[in-house]
Structure 1
Amino acid sequence: MIRFGREIAGELDLAERREWLCTNGLGGFASGTVAGTLTRRYHGLLVAALRPPVGRTLLAAKLDETIAYDGLATALGANRWADGTVAPQGFRALESFALEGTMPVWTYAVGDALLEKRVWMEQGANTTYVRYRLLRGRAPAALALEVLVNYRDAHSLTRANGWRMIVTTVTHGLRVLAFEGARPLVILAEGAAAEPAHTWYERFDLPRERERGLDAREDHLHAGTLRASLALSGALTVVLSAEALPSLDGAQARRRRERHEEGVLRSWRRRQPTARRSPAWLAQLVLAADQFISTRAIAGWTDGTTIVAGYPWFGDWGRDTMIALAGLTLVTGRAELARRILTTWARFVDHGMLPNRLPDAGSPPDYNTADAALWYVEAIRAYHAATSDDALLREIFPRLEDIVRRHREGTRHGIAVDPGDGLLAAGEPGVQLTWMDAKVGERVVTPRTGKPVEINALWYNALRAMAAFARRLQKPAEPWDAAAALTNAGFERFWNERSGCCYDVLDGPDGHDDTLRPNQLLAVALPESPLARERQRRVVDVCARHLLTSYGLRTLAPDHAHYQGRYAGGPRERDIAYHQGTVWAWLLGPFAVAHFKVHGDAETARSFLIPLADHLGDYGVGSVAEVFDGDPPFAPRGAIAQAWSVAEALRAWHQIGG
C-alpha cells in the first residue's frame, strides 16, 4: 500500500502533482488528483470506452461533497477556477490518501468525525463506484454530493453555450441524456435522495493543460445532488454507469474488484517462484501491469485483446504492445492473455507490417513503423519460450514467413533488405518510422533514414527466431540461418571504433550517424546479439556513462548540440525534446538486462530498477510515467502510466533474477 499523510495530501501543490488511475479492462478509466481538483482534460470519474479500447467519452466529471456534522458544514471538494481562485478547498480536511491495490482511498477529518471515500471501476464494464463510509463520529453525518457531468471526447473540452441535457429521476437516482442518440449516464445511490438540477459550472481551470500549451478552460454541468445520512460505520455507494443495469451493491462490487486483483497477484506468484520474496513495490507494478490489458472490439470476433499504450491519452499502438507484452502478461503468469493479444494483432498484419497504431475513430490503421512487425516476431518468440505452444506457432508461422519475406523484398516506406550486407534499410522523406517518431508539422525531428541500429538488431533476432521456429516445426531452417549469418556479418559495419560504440544509423542521406543514443543497447539486450562480447560491454559502459539516469535513459547525450534537458512547453517544444534528451523509462529494462549480460552481477543490474520504487509514490501513483526530464532531478512528464515503462521493469527484474 502507498500512503500519504497531511504533509502531502493537505498541501495543494504536492497533492495535485500526484494523480490516481482506475481502469476497467475496456480502455475506460477514472482519474484525478489526490487533492480532488481537476487539472487535466482527461480527469473524471467515468471516462467510458464506448468502442473498446477507444471511443473514450467523459460522462461523469466529479462529485463535489459537503459533509454536515455536529452543526458544521464542510466542503470536501476542491476546484480551480479561471480567475485564479481555488474554491472550495476540501483538501484542507484531507487527513490521508492511500492506494490499496489500485483503489484510491481518501480519509477526511471533520472535527472528531472521520469519513472515508474510495473509488474503483467494475472490470469489463463502463461503471465507476464511489463509496463513502463514516469511520468515526459521535453522531450521524449528512452528505450532499453535487454530481458534475459532461459528454465529450476525452481529448476535447466543453463550453456550455446553452447546451441542454435531459436530466430525469429514476429509481435510486438520476439519468442524464446529453442529446438524442447519446449513451445515457445513470447516477445511482441506494438510500440517497436524488434532486435533479441543470446548472452549468463554467470556467474550470486546468493547469496541466496550460503547461502543455493547450486550452485550459472547461465547463461541466451540475446535473443533480444526492443527499444521504451516514450513521457510524454506515456506507453510501454512488454508482456512475453507462451500462443498462449496473449492480448497486457497493460491498459486493468492491469484493469483485479485490478478487480480480488477488487473482492477478496469484497468477504472478504461481509463475514466479521468487515473487513472495520480492519487494512490495514489485507487486504494485504487477497490479499496474493489469491496467493496460484491454478488450479490443472487432466485428464478428469476441476474443479481441490488446494493450493500451498509456493513460490517459494513448490507445493501442503496435510497437508498444509488442514491447510490453512479455512484461505485462508472460512475466505475470497470464500467458492466455498474451496468446489473445498476438492473435488479435495478427489480423492487422498487412504487406508484412504491423500498424503503428489503431486509430480511435475507426479509420484505417497507420502503417508507418519499421519495427512493430519485428517486435511482433520477438513477442512470438518470448511467448513460445514461456509456453511451448506449438499449436499457435504452427498457426502463425505462415504470417511470420510473410513478414520476413516482405521485409526482404521490400514493403512500404522504403523498408527493404540491402542484399549487399543483409541489413534492413528504411525511410522516406516526411515519414517517421522508428520509435523515435516525433514530428513537428512536416518536419521529422529524428528521421533516422538509412539503416538504424536497433532495427537491424531486431532484424537479426527475427531471422534467428525464424530458424528456431522452423526447426521446432520440422521445416527447413538453413535459409534462415544463411540470412542471419549475412546480417550478422553486415552488422560489423555498425561498429565505430573511434567512439567505442555503435553508429546510430548507417548509410543515411549524410552518411553514417555517430550520434550517441540508447538504441544500440538493444543489440546487447535482445536474446541474440550480433556484437562480440567485448563490444557488448563497451556499448553498455558508454550508455551508462552518458545516458543513464535514475528513471531511464536519455535519448541523446547531454554534450550534443541538440540536447534538450527539459520536456516542457507547448506541443512544438515538447515534440522537439521528445527524443532529443528526454529520458524514457522503458529503456531502463533493456539497460539492466544488458548490464547483467556483460557484467554478470545480478544484484547490481537489479539495483538500476530500484529508484522506480520511490517513483511509484509520485506523479501517477502506483504506476510508472512515460518520460522524465533529461536534467536532474529528472521530473516525470508525459502520460502518468505507460505500459512499456511498467512492463520492461517487470521483465528485466525477473529475467535478471531467474
Structure 2
Amino acid sequence: MKTARHAGEWLEADGLGGFASGPANGIRSRRYHALLLHASAPPSGRMVLVNGVEAWWEGPDGAVALSTHHYAPDTLHPDGTQRIVGFHTDPWPTWRFALPGGMHLLHDIFAAGDSGDVILRWWLVPAAGAAAGTAADAVRALPDTPGADDAGPAGDGYRNSARSGRLFVRPLLSVRDYHALHRRNDAFDFTPAGANGRISWRPYAHRPAVSALSNGVYRHAPEWFERFLYDDERERGLDAVEDLASPGIFSFDLDCDPAADPSRDAAGEQTASCAALLILRAGDSRDVHVARRVAGAERDRRGERQRRAAAAVTARGAAIGALSNAAGQYFAERGQGATLLAGFPWFTDWGRDTFISLRGLALATGRENQAAAILREWATTVSEGMLPNRFPDEGSTPEYNSVDASLWFIVALHAYLLTGHATPATRDILQGAAERILDGYHGGTRFGIGAGADGLLHAGEPGSQLTWMDARVGLTPVTPRIGKPVEIQALWINALRIGATWNPRWQPLAERAQAAFAGRFVDPASGALHDVVDVDGVAGTVDRSVRPNQILAVGGLPFQVVDDATARAVVAVVERELWTPLGLRTLACADPRYIGRYTGPPESRDSAYHQGTAWLWLAGPFIEAWLRVHARGANAEAARAEARARFVAPLDAHLREAGLGHLSEIADGDAPHTPRGAPFQAWSLAERLRIETLL
C-alpha cells in the first residue's frame, strides 16, 4: 500500500533550538520528524532522541492501532492513521481517534517551553458530536476547531463513560545527529535505569541520555524496528531509510472518571490520573511529580499564548494576534543571550534571516525586549565591519561570508529604535555597532566589499556568493552576482541615511551613492532596474536579468531609493514577470536559465534555488512597493483592499497547507506553485506580519 502526501506538518519548538514536529496524518516523512529533538548547545548541537512511538489500544472490543509508519520498499503499517477523525493545532497538536465501542481517544503533544521537555497525553472522551469521516477527511479539514471535550483531561466539559481500556506506547529511539540517519547496530545499549515512573536510557556513552517520566507502567522489551522510509527525503534525492530501537513498552489504564476522582495535589488541582501522561526529556530523569509537571506546563503554555495573542490583538489587530504565537516559535536562546532561528526543521540562526525577520516576528508582535536582546547579542560579533551570517552547528566559530547581513542589521536596529523602547545604553551599543559596519564598508573589508569613488558598494571576488542568492553546486556559485548588485545598493543607501540620523558625516556619502544609483541602474528599455552593474568588476557592464532584487529599491526598506516614475516601472515589471501567489520568482520565466520546479537531488534543487524558484519572504517587499505606488490619496483605501485580496489572501490560504499556521520557505516558480523547502520559515512569516502593519 502506498502512502499519500501528508496534508500538513505541525511544530512545537522548545525555545532552546530543539523541537517536536511531524505530519498531521502521523506518518513520519522526514528524518527531522521527531517527538524529542534536543539542542545540546542551544540553539545548535541538535540531536534526534525520540523519533516517534508505536501506540495501540486494548479494550473490551479488542486491540486497535493508533500509529502508522511507512516502511521500505512501500508499506504502511499498522493502520492507526485510519482512525484519525479530527486534528487541530490550537493551542497545540491534538488528534482524535475513533475507538471500537463508540469512545474516542484524544492525544496531544506540546513542548513545556522552559526545559526542553515534550509532553504527550492521551485521554478518553465520548464520541457524541465528533466529526465523522476518514483520516484523509480529518487532515483535509485543518485546522480544526477544538471542542469543549478537547480541553484536556481536567478541562471544562470533560466527560467519560464507564468504558475501560488500556493504552500501550512503545518509544522509538535513535539518539543521532538530526541531519543523519540511524542503522541497527550492536553498540546500542537498551539497559534502563530507574523504575516505572522515571525511566532513563543511555544508548550511546558519549551522547545524551533519554528519559521518560510517566504515570504508567514500564515493561522492558528491547526490539529493533527496521527500514522506516521517509518520503520527503526520498523526493529530495537523499538517503531515506532508517532503523530505530525501542527499549520497552509503557502501559496506561484509562478506566476512571475524573469527575469522580477525589485525588488532588497540594495546590488543589486534579492530578489527571485518568489521562496517560508521558514526559520525554533529554538527560537523566529528575525527581518530579509527573501530573503536577504536566499541569503546570500546560497552564504556563496556555497563559503565555493567551497573553501574547491578547496583547497583539489589542495593539495591532486580530490578524497579528492570530500569528503572534506562531512567531514565538522562532525565538531561542544562544549562550546567555537570545537569537532568532531562520526556520525549521534544518536551519539554525542566520544573520541575514534574523535581521530581515526581526521587524515582523519581534516588533510587529510587541516583542521589543526580545528584539533588543537579539540585536545586542549580534552587535558583539562585528568584525572588520561585517556581521556573521551563520554560526555552524558543529561549533561556535562564526562565518563572515555575507555582504547584506550587516546592512540588514542596521535596518533592523533602525526599526527597533523607532519604537522608543531603547535605553540610552542599548542605543549606544547598537549605534556603535552600526558605525563599525559603515566604517568597515566605506573603507573596505573582506571579499572585495567596499565603497567606490561613486559611493556605490562593490562586493565579491571569484568563487564567492555574498548576496542572499548564495546557492552553490559543488564549489561553484550559481548566481555569484559579483560587482554592484541592485539590492545591496538599496541597503547601503538606506544604511547611510539611517547612520546620518545620528552622525551627519554619512549624509554626503548617502547623497553621492543615491545620485550614482539613479544614473547607473535604470534600464532605458524597461524603465526598471538592472540586477548588477560593473559585473565582475568590469566598469560599465550591466546584468539585465529580470530578478526580484530590484523591488528593494521601492519597498521592503525604510527609504525608497528611486523616483516615482522608476518605482512604477519596477513594480509593473516585477508584478508581470515574477509575481506568483506565493511570492516572487527569482528569475523571469522567459529567461533561458529559468528552472520552474525545485525538485530532484541536491544539485538540481540548488541549481533552481535562485533561478526561478519563488520565495515567500519577497511578498513583503513587493506588497509594500505596490502600496507605495498605488495606495495614494483617494485611492489608498481601495488599493489596500485590492492588495489584501490579490496578494495577501493566497499567503493566508497557505497557512493551512504545509507548515500549519506558518509559511514555507519557497515554492515552485511554475504553477501550481507547490510549496518546497522548509515548511516553517522565519522571514516568510515575518514579512506576512509586517505586511499586516502596512495594511
The structural deviation recorded for 1:500 is 2.0
* Alignment: residue pair count: 625
* Counterpart among 566, 572, 579 of residue 597 in structure 2: 566
The structural deviation recorded for 1:411 is 0.4
Contact 2:376 2:429 in 1 (8 A): no
Match of 2:684 in 1: 645
The structural deviation recorded for 1:173 is 3.8
Distance 1:556 1:230 in 2: 57
The one-letter code matched in structure 1 to 2:439 is R
Contact 1:393 1:469 in 2 (8 A): no
The one-letter code matched in structure 2 to 1:318 is G
Distance 2:441 2:658 in 1: 40
- Residue 4 of structure 2 aligns to a residue whose secondary structure is helix
The aligned runs of 1:366-515 (5 Å cut-off) are 366-387=399-420, 389=422, 391=424, 392-419=426-453, 421-470=454-503, 477=504, 479-492=505-518, 493-509=520-536, 511-515=541-545
The one-letter code matched in structure 1 to 2:517 is F
Match of 1:8 in 2: none
Q: 1:352-382 CA deviation, whole Å, 9 max, x = no partner?
A: 1011111111152111101000000001100
Task: Return 195-204 or 624-633, whichever deviates more.
Answer: 195-204
Match of 2:372 in 1: 339
Task: Return 37-46 or 382-391, whichever deviates more.
Answer: 382-391
Distance 2:356 2:463 in 1: 25
* Counterpart among 15, 21, 42 of residue 31 in structure 1: 21
Match of 1:473 in 2: none
1:286 correspondence with 2:324: yes
- Residue 120 of structure 2 aligns to a residue whose secondary structure is strand
Contact 2:407 2:492 in 1 (8 A): yes
* Counterpart among 241, 244, 263 of residue 220 in structure 1: 244
Contact 1:133 1:236 in 2 (8 A): yes
Contact 1:270 1:333 in 2 (8 A): no
The one-letter code matched in structure 1 to 2:361 is L
Contact 2:202 2:208 in 1 (8 A): yes
Match of 2:580 in 1: 549
Match of 2:131 in 1: none
- Residue 598 of structure 1 aligns to a residue whose secondary structure is helix
Match of 1:632 in 2: 671
Contact 2:72 2:241 in 1 (8 A): yes
The structural deviation recorded for 1:265 is 1.4
The structural deviation recorded for 1:48 is 0.5
Match of 2:211 in 1: 186
Distance 1:398 1:286 in 2: 31
Match of 1:579 in 2: 610
Match of 1:597 in 2: 628
Q: 1:60-108 CA deviation, whole Å, 9 max, x = no partner?
A: 111211011223100111011113111102111111111113x111000
- Residue 455 of structure 1 aligns to a residue whose secondary structure is helix
Contact 2:20 2:118 in 1 (8 A): yes
Distance 1:435 1:181 in 2: 37
* Counterpart among 322, 347, 361 of residue 314 in structure 1: 347
Match of 1:114 in 2: 104
The runs of 5 or more residues in structure 1 that have no matched partner are: 1-10, 471-476
* Counterpart among 311, 334, 338 of residue 305 in structure 1: 338
- Residue 333 of structure 1 aligns to a residue whose secondary structure is coil
The structural deviation recorded for 1:267 is 3.3
- Would the alpha carbon gap of residues 169 and 390 (structure 1) be closer, same or farther in structure 2, given more than 3 Å must change? closer
Distance 2:68 2:587 in 1: 40
Task: Return 61-70 or 248-257, whichever deviates more.
Answer: 248-257
Distance 2:170 2:452 in 1: 64
- Residue 387 of structure 1 aligns to a residue whose secondary structure is coil
Match of 2:295 in 1: 251
- Residue 13 of structure 1 aligns to a residue whose secondary structure is coil
The structural deviation recorded for 1:387 is 2.2
Distance 1:340 1:176 in 2: 37
Contact 1:173 1:193 in 2 (8 A): no
1:241 correspondence with 2:281: yes
Task: Return 43-52 or 175-184, whichever deviates more.
Answer: 175-184
Q: 1:21-65 CA deviation, whole Å, 9 max, x = no partner?
A: 110111100011112112111011000111111111111111211
Q: 1:227-252 CA deviation, whole Å, 9 max, x = no partner?
A: 11112563111100015436622233
- Residue 691 of structure 2 aligns to a residue whose secondary structure is helix
Contact 1:167 1:174 in 2 (8 A): no
Contact 2:311 2:321 in 1 (8 A): no
Normalised TM-score (structure 1): 0.93
The one-letter code matched in structure 2 to 1:290 is G
1:13 correspondence with 2:4: yes
Contact 1:318 1:372 in 2 (8 A): yes
Distance 1:480 1:427 in 2: 23
- Computed over aligned residues only, the root mean square deviation of the Cα atoms, in angstroms, reads 1.6
- Would the alpha carbon gap of residues 12 and 264 (structure 1) be closer, same or farther in structure 2, given more than 3 Å must change? farther
Q: 1:547-581 CA deviation, whole Å, 9 max, x = no partner?
A: 11111110111111011111111100000000011
The structural deviation recorded for 1:270 is 4.3
Task: Return 140-149 or 369-378, whichever deviates more.
Answer: 140-149
The aligned runs of 1:20-99 (5 Å cut-off) are 20-99=10-89
Contact 1:335 1:387 in 2 (8 A): no
- Residue 609 of structure 1 aligns to a residue whose secondary structure is helix
- Would the alpha carbon gap of residues 563 and 247 (structure 1) be closer, same or farther in structure 2, given more than 3 Å must change? farther
Q: 1:283-318 CA deviation, whole Å, 9 max, x = no partner?
A: 342221111000012xxxx2x100000100001000
Q: 1:235-277 CA deviation, whole Å, 9 max, x = no partner?
A: 11110001543662223322221112122213323432xx1xx
Match of 1:174 in 2: 199
Contact 2:411 2:558 in 1 (8 A): no
- Would the alpha carbon gap of residues 92 and 138 (structure 1) be closer, same or farther in structure 2, given more than 3 Å must change? farther
The structural deviation recorded for 1:12 is 5.2
1:153 correspondence with 2:177: yes
Contact 1:567 1:582 in 2 (8 A): yes
- Residue 188 of structure 1 aligns to a residue whose secondary structure is strand
Percentage of identical aligned residues: 40
Contact 2:211 2:281 in 1 (8 A): yes
- Residue 502 of structure 1 aligns to a residue whose secondary structure is coil
Distance 1:587 1:167 in 2: 51
Distance 2:407 2:393 in 1: 24
The structural deviation recorded for 1:147 is 1.1
Match of 2:310 in 1: 266
The structural deviation recorded for 1:388 is 5.1
Distance 1:115 1:159 in 2: 33
* Counterpart among 613, 619, 626 of residue 658 in structure 2: 619
Distance 2:193 2:392 in 1: 37
Normalised TM-score (structure 2): 0.88
Contact 2:355 2:409 in 1 (8 A): yes
Contact 2:308 2:321 in 1 (8 A): no
1:516 correspondence with 2:546: yes
- Would the alpha carbon gap of residues 321 and 52 (structure 1) be closer, same or farther in structure 2, given more than 3 Å must change? same
Distance 1:186 1:616 in 2: 34
Distance 1:219 1:148 in 2: 9
The one-letter code matched in structure 2 to 1:503 is H
The runs of 5 or more residues in structure 2 that have no matched partner are: 127-160, 259-273, 632-638
Task: Return 401-410 or 167-176, whichever deviates more.
Answer: 167-176
The structural deviation recorded for 1:17 is 4.0
The one-letter code matched in structure 1 to 2:437 is I
Distance 1:521 1:634 in 2: 21
The one-letter code matched in structure 2 to 1:348 is T
- Would the alpha carbon gap of residues 73 and 447 (structure 1) be closer, same or farther in structure 2, given more than 3 Å must change? same
The one-letter code matched in structure 1 to 2:524 is E
